[in-house]
Structure 1
Amino acid sequence: MDVYLIRHAEAVARDPAGQMADEDRALTDTGRTQAQRIARNLPERGAKIERLFVSPTVRTRQTAEPLMAAWGLTGDAVVDCPELAPGGKIRKLAKRLSKHPASAIGLVGHRPDLNDFAAWLIGSRKVRIAIDKGGVALIRVDDEDDWAKGAGRLIWLLPENWI
């Protein structure tokens, strides 16, 4: 199984006055361009995502929209995934993913959670994987039923400016 870890594109800055909740932050114009670029370039790299798991925040949903259009994903192929919200637990996410077998999935989430999940999946949380805003990592899990620590191999990690 191919697992595409997609960090949300650039969002508006946190509101220092606290008038806007973190989960309500939307993409900037640059972020919308980044999301479109991801949706255009991943298929060009051979990505064929069958199911997309999305954190329940505005910025991740907006990042996911062009991806959904690129692969024609609707209905059950798009999963609202609270385990991808900021502060989500790795083992709960792994358990959730194990219930949705597919040959290729995408996860649209946040830092540091996606970075931590990537490190856990390849076998060491000591490994520092840094997925940029609008960046993507591809991890291959050889057995889609095995979502244990160390079950995956990092295939590539692309910063936003390489996509």
Structure 2
Amino acid sequence: MRIYLVRHSDSVDRVPSLPDAARYLNTRGRMSFREMALRFRDAGGLPTRILTSPFVRAVQTAEILSEAIRYDGEVVLDPRLSPGFDIAMMKAVLEDYPGEREIALVGHEPDLGVILSLLLSLPQRYAMRKGAIAALDLQIPGDPLRAGLAWLLTVDRRIEDPAMLVT
């Protein structure tokens, strides 16, 4: 199974009058993620399921991804992908979708970076940039604690060697 860890794009700043869950993508975030989503499509990203945190900025990121790849399914809001998402929750999410070939999980930092680091057995935590997408191949079906890096897209580069994540 291939999973895509997708960090939401740039959002408006925190302000006391706006709850964190209501923060939305800013103009730069929408524009840059449209470009990223096209790069994702060109890299062969074709998830059979897109799941997202219910936070507005994550939902908007998932919707942009869905449009760019002409996804014909429904973007599923999953509260487990809210901040606090961890490897145990990821395993539970994946168990809910047996037989899926490719699943995109749209969420937040530091959660996605921690999961990426655990799956790749990195010696230190990798911090995913806003709008980044990591393609990971689970090595053993049903064991989401080990994965291989297919690629990681950031705004300015594509990484295919996990060693590049720790430099």
TM range (shorter): 0.7 to 0.9
Q: Which amino acid aligns with 1:155?
A: A
Measured against aligned partners, the alpha-carbon deviations of 1:37-75 in whole angstroms (never above 9, x if no partner) come to: 122111111111111110110000111112112232323
Q: Is 56-65 or 37-46 further displaced after alignment?
A: 37-46
- Please give the alpha-carbon distance, in whole angstroms, between the structure 2 residues aligned to 1:41 and 1:5: 15
SS at match of 1:161: coil
8 Å CA contact 1:54, 1:80 repeated in 2: yes
SS at match of 2:148: strand
User: Aligned residues, how many?
Assistant: 156
Q: Does 1:160 pair with 2:158?
A: no
CA contact (8 A) 1:54 1:107 kept: yes
CA distance in structure 2 between the partners assigned to 1:52 and 1:59 by the alignment: 15
1:68 maps to 2:66: yes
Residue 3 of structure 1, CA deviation: 1.2
For 1:144 and 1:53, locate their aligned partners in 2 and report how far apart those are by CA, in whole Å.
19
The equivalences for 1:1-163 within 5 A come to: 1-15=1-15, 18-69=16-67, 70-75=69-74, 78-101=75-98, 102-123=100-121, 126-147=123-144, 149=145, 151-162=146-157
SS of equivalent to 2:137: strand
Provide the C-alpha distance between the structure 2 equivalents of 1:89 and 1:42, rounded to a whole number of angstroms: 24
Determine what percentage of the aligned residue pairs are the same residue: 33
Which whole-Å CA distance do the structure 1 matches of 2:148 and 2:82 have between them?
24
Give yes or no for contact 1:98–1:146 (8 Å, CA) kept in 2: no
Q: What's the counterpart of residue 162 of structure 2?
A: none
* AA partner of residue 131 (structure 1): M
- Unaligned residue ranges in structure 2 (runs of 5+): 159-167
* Structure 1, unaligned runs of 5 or more: none
Equivalent-residue separation in structure 2 for 1:90 and 1:47 (angstroms): 22
Q: Return the letter of the residue paired with 1:74.
A: G
Change (3 A) 1:144 1:52: farther
Q: Distance in 1 between matches of 2:76 and 2:151?
A: 24
